[in-house]
Amino acid sequence: MARACTYTVESEFEGQRIDLLLATLNLYRSRSLAARFIEGQRVFVNGNNVSKRYLVAAGDIIVYEKEESPVEQKLFGQPIDLDIRFEDANLLVISKQAGLVCHPSTDHSDGTLVNALIHHCGAENLCNVQGGDDRLGIVHRLDRDTTGLMLAAKTNEAGYALMDGIRERSIERHYLALVHGNIAHDTGMIDAPITRSPSDRTKMTVLDNSASREAITTFSVIERFEASTHDDGYTLIDCKLFTGRTHQIRVHMLYIKHPCVGDPVYSGGTPKAQIGLERQFLHSYNIEFNHPLSGEKMRFSDKLPEDLAQALRQLSSRSMGRTEYGQPLELF
């Protein structure tokens, strides 16, 4: 349950970033939590949404939402399967399964990746760099039904270093996506800001306003598939993230009119065009980074899970051939 609160900016705070101010005044327990509420369009300045970088002025009227919970639930470990590809004293690389939410929320109080990490590592052996015990170990996220490789951190030092690497784009993250239609160009870049949809708070959208955040995705075509009577064909692509916005690839592909196949939120076309998929065809299949402490170059690859591999097998007879980029890739 949420309640709306009001604060009027005093002159001594003029020129401060709004996320820092909200944390400094203990209106939120941390700067990152304040940023999450701002980005979720749950903070207003003089009646308008702003970005977390907004510099406040004396007299600004800030209306902000605060969650009220009558009972504080303590996080606990749960024996949830983790497909761990690498682990040391500082970090883990895991392959996340479909259906696993990364951290607790209003709709998912337990059964999350955080619960699994607490069971595996112990809460005292996980970083806390995202502004709350509900995000222990988390440095970045995958959507619930997006599968594949992601990082988790054990120490705060590693956690901050990995978050810096993502922000500074030194960590390379590549995804496989099957999208509707044939993309004509073999490569492309989508540079379009993303914010929460003003008409549906459960969705994100491309929109250029003060609350929008920079979002950049590049793609390379791997393989195209011919159209049929039930669809307009498909394109298998490699997407590289340069930013990490909520639903970024899914929103960007919808924006260029090639939504991800099977996407229950952003997809289009008839049920038959979804080729049996009940979740988005989106898989984090490659990640490269320098170890935050040793500096060692690390690279991990993850083949498609069976449901996505089966969808591609269905289309194999309609293949128009692999591109040069796609030739060497082993997908399943």
Task: Exactly one of 143, 145, 238, 263 is catalytic; name it.
Answer: 143
CA distance 202 to 71: 25
22: alpha, beta or left? (left if phi > 0; alpha if psi -120 to 50): alpha
CA distance 269 to 36: 33
- Beta carbons of 303 and 176 less than 8 angstroms apart: no
143 is an active site residue: yes
The Cα angle at residue 102 between residues 97 and 108, in degrees rounded to 5: 105
Identify the burial level of 25 via C-beta atoms within 10 angstroms of its C-beta, where 0-12 means exposed, 13-18 middle and 19 or more buried: middle
Compute CA distances 302 → 96, 149, 201, 325, 330, whole Å. 10, 7, 32, 18, 10
CA distance 171 to 241: 9
CA distance 56 to 15: 5
Q: Which residue type occupies 187? A: T
**Residues marked as catalytic:** 143
